[in-house]
């Protein structure tokens, strides 16, 4: 049965107070609004969407064929929109029941139960069904008096009457949504902790971290199995490093194809979180478009390991960056964040030196002067009243730290691999060539993480702006230099994994990694990212790759309503 022609209704503020010249709201946005205001804000204002297993399962449910009566005509995935209401969406199904059109929604979960145990729709499902019903009424030009929500976990249907109360509830929800769209700050975390358990944006919102900081939530280590955790503990995807100078990266449907002189490799784009091209490898426009569509960052590094550029498919997330700008133009906040960062870095250096010389009294005695100077730096940090003072203290600690590094190497390490302090631009020994290259790998990781979170890399709090080094990336990576680069690198030297002749290229007084050396460095860095450590704030162990993302998200909370969480990660 074909739908009747819709009635013509003037779209003016007088006919409906919810009329707006703004872009129409998605009906699913109202569902998010009634579920959690912060979820609505993250999706509709900041344009952050994360499709988890529950979302995909819901999509599959909507495309499965639900048995219907032969005598009940049906329209599936029926698109509806109204400038009068300022809404648009796609109703799961529209059917004729007893001569009247009825809007249907299908849900995977369980229904709400009333006092008489009758199935009821949850508030978010109810407003969604109401919205579809009134839009359907306008589209078809016929009265729609009822909507139904089918809960497949219970195998029951909740009935919703489309009366004056329902229409008024819809108007109020739309008005509330418009007000939230005009806000520049995120709404607070919901008081109902159970809602966070099934929310796909929990890894972005980090509600448990905020509750933990406020002292009004259970510690994550005490949360029952299945409850929300800060972030997935392990990386779900891998970074594709293209190191062959003659490599050619192209696209074949939903896969990336890497061709070299002697082989051809295909990798599904769904398995990749980033592509890093080292040197002069080529990439096609089609491959770039595929990566952009799936949110896969593409980065270029020079032969010498310098970060050159990177792509991003970020939609901009204007409100996030406005808050970042407002937060990081406050000198007091920048100074405090810089102090936190320097303390985290210097304490990491001190703890590593102590850890690496534990049980070796002779080595400990050799570096005693360096240890004392680093401790002195930590004592002076609270009194540093400017960024320049912090930089001076950081430099003093770094000089002492790198002076002590040779003492961490065992007697079997070849003399050509032992550093003489820290040199860069360019490195003057093989160990410094390794450090510089791995620091650039870390830079690339932090850079794409900052962009994925939605922050502006060029707006930092500590480092000075430079064309090739976005300050915020340089700021954050200071926390991770010791655990992600120094520790695994010095460990690999002590395990004699490096060949002074094969893995390095000497150019006068300067040294670079050879092709073999670069591949070893990349493998070492990626292996470290898979290892786990416990974050002191959350009490949860997760991979280092996840810890980087967690710290970036905790940094954003410094100017988004939950300060005091950033920079707590330390090596044990």
Looking at the fold, whether 327 and 413 belong to one and the same domain comes out as yes
Shared domain check, 479 and 430: yes
What's the pLDDT at 54? 52
Q: CATH number for the domain including 486?
A: 1.20.120.920
Domain of 150, CATH number, reads 3.90.320.10
Number of domains in the chain: 3
Instruction: Mark whether 75 and 148 lie in a shared domain.
Output: yes
If 0-12 CB within 10 Å is exposed, 13-18 middle and 19+ buried, where does residue 134 land? buried
Q: 341 with 403, same domain?
A: yes
Report if residue 231 sits inside a domain: no
Beta strands 100-107; 87-97: pairing state: antiparallel
Q: Is 397 within a domain?
A: yes
Give the pLDDT confidence score for residue 64 in this predicted structure.
Answer: 45
- Residue 293 shares a structural domain with residue 335: no
**pLDDT value of position 135:** 92
User: In angstroms, rounded to a whole number, what is the distance separating the alpha carbons of residues 239 and 504?
Assistant: 24
Domain-ending residue, one of 248, 279, 310: 310
Report if residue 206 sits inside a domain. no
Report helix angle 123-140 to 164-181, nearest 10: 110
Q: Are residues 494 and 397 in the same domain?
A: yes
436 plus 503 within the same structural domain? yes
Domain boundaries, position 36: 25-181
pLDDT for 213? 64
Give the integer Cα–Cα distance in Å for 506 and 501: 9
Residue 537 covered by a domain: no
- The residue to which tokens 């990626």 are assigned: 526
**Which residues have a Cβ under 8 Å from the Cβ of 399 and sit 6 or more positions away?**
421, 422
Residue 539 inside a domain? The answer is no
Can you give the pLDDT at residue 415? 92
Last residue of a domain, one of 310, 330, 351: 310
Q: What pLDDT does residue 485 have?
A: 97
Taking a C-beta distance cutoff of 8 angstroms, is the pair 309, 329 a contact? no
Are both 511 and 363 inside the same structural domain?
Answer: yes
Is 385 in the same domain as 443?
A: yes
Task: Output the pLDDT for position 498.
Answer: 97
Does residue 265 lie within any of the structural domains?
A: yes
Is 244 found in the same domain as 141?
no
Q: Where are the alpha helices (DSSP H) in 145-206?
A: 164-181, 193-197, 202-205
Contact present, 550 and 533 (Cβ < 8 Å): no
Residues 279 and 387 in one domain: no
pLDDT at 466: 62
Check residue 45 and give its pLDDT: 85
Beta bridge partners of 283: 249
Given 275, 310, 345, which residue is the final one in a domain? 310
From first to last of the 572 residues of the chain, give the pLDDT tens digit.
Answer: 444 433 333 343 444 444 445 788 999 999 999 999 999 988 888 887 765 445 444 444 444 444 444 445 566 667 888 888 999 998 888 888 887 889 899 988 899 998 888 999 999 999 999 999 999 988 888 888 999 999 998 899 999 999 999 999 999 999 999 999 888 788 888 888 888 877 878 878 888 777 766 664 444 434 444 343 446 677 778 899 999 888 999 999 999 999 988 889 999 999 999 999 998 899 999 999 999 888 899 999 887 788 888 887 655 578 888 889 999 999 999 999 999 999 999 999 999 999 999 988 899 999 999 999 999 999 999 999 999 999 999 999 999 999 999 999 999 999 999 998 898 888 999 999 999 999 999 999 999 999 988 899 999 999 977 656 799 999 999 999 999 999 999 999 999 999 999 999 988 889 999 999 999 999 999 999 999 998 887 778 889 999 999 999 999 999 987 888 899 888 87
The helix-helix angle for 430-453 and 515-530 (nearest 10°) equals 50
Within a domain: 205: no
Could you tell me if 372 and 245 lie in one domain?
no
In whole angstroms, give the CA distance from residue 566 to residue 120: 42
Beta carbons of 415 and 423 less than 8 angstroms apart: no
Q: Which two tokens stand for residue 506?
A: 């000497």
Q: 569 in a domain, yes or no? A: no
């Amino acid at each position: 049965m074909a739908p009747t022609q819709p009635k013509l209704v003037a779209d003016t503020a007088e006919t409906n107070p919810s009329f707006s010249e703004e872009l129409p709201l998605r009906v699913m946005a109202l569902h998010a609004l009634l579920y959690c205001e912060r979820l609505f804000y993250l999706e509709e204002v900041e344009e952050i969407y994360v499709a988890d297993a529950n979302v995909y399962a819901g999509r599959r449910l909507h495309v499965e064929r639900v048995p219907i009566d032969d005598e009940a005509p049906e329209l599936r995935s029926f698109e509806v929109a109204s400038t009068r209401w300022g809404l648009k969406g796609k109703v799961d199904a529209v059917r004729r029941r007893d001569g009247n059109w009825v809007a249907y929604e299908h849900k995977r979960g369980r229904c709400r139960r009333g006092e008489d145990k009758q199935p009821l729709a949850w508030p978010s499902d109810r407003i969604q069904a109401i919205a579809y019903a009134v839009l359907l009424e306008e589209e078809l030009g016929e009265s729609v008096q009822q909507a139904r929500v089918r809960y497949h976990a219970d195998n029951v249907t909740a009935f919703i009457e489309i009366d004056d109360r329902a229409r008024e509830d819809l108007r109020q929800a739309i008005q509330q949504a418009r007000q939230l769209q005009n806000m520049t700050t995120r709404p607070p975390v919901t008081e109902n902790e159970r809602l966070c358990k099934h929310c796909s944006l929990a890894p972005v919102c980090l509600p448990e971290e905020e509750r933990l900081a406020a002292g009004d939530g259970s510690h994550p280590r005490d949360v029952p199995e299945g409850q929300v955790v800060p972030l997935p503990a392990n990386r779900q995807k891998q970074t594709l490093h293209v190191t062959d100078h003659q490599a050619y990266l192209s696209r074949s449907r939903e896969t990336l194809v890497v061709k070299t002189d002697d082989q051809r490799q295909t990798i599904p784009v769904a398995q990749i979180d980033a592509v890093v091209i080292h040197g002069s490898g080529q990439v096609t426009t089609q491959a770039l478009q595929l990566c952009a569509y799936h949110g896969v960052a593409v980065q270029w590094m020079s032969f010498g390991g310098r970060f050159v550029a990177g792509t991003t498919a970020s939609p901009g997330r204007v409100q996030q960056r406005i808050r970042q700008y407002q937060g990081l133009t406050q000198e007091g906040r920048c100074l405090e964040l810089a102090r936190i960062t320097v303390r985290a870095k210097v304490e990491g250096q001190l703890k590593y030196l102590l850890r690496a010389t534990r049980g070796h009294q002779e080595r400990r005695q050799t570096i005693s002067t360096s240890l004392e100077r680093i401790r002195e730096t930590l004592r002076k940090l609270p009194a540093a009243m400017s960024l320049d003072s912090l930089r001076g203290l950081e430099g003093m600690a770094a000089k002492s730290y790198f002076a002590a590094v040779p003492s961490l190497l065992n007697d079997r390490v070849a003399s050509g691999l032992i550093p003489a302090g820290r040199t860069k631009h360019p490195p003057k020994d093989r160990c410094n060539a390794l450090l510089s290259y791995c620091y650039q790998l870390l830079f690339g990781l932090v850079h794409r993480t900052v962009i994925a979170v939605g922050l502006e890399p060029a707006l930092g709090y500590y480092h000075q702006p430079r064309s090739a080094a976005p300050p915020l990336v340089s700021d954050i990576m200071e926390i991770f230099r010791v655990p992600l680069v120094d520790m695994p690198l010095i460990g690999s030297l002590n395990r004699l994994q490096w060949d002074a002749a094969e893995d390095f290229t000497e150019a006068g007084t300067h040294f670079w990694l050879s092709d073999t050396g670069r591949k070893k460095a990349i493998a070492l860095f990626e292996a470290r990212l898979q290892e786990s450590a416990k974050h002191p704030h959350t009490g949860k162990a997760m991979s280092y790759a996840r810890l980087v993302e967690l710290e970036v998200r905790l940094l954003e909370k410094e100017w988004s309503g939950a300060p005091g969480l950033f920079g707590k990660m330390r090596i044990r």
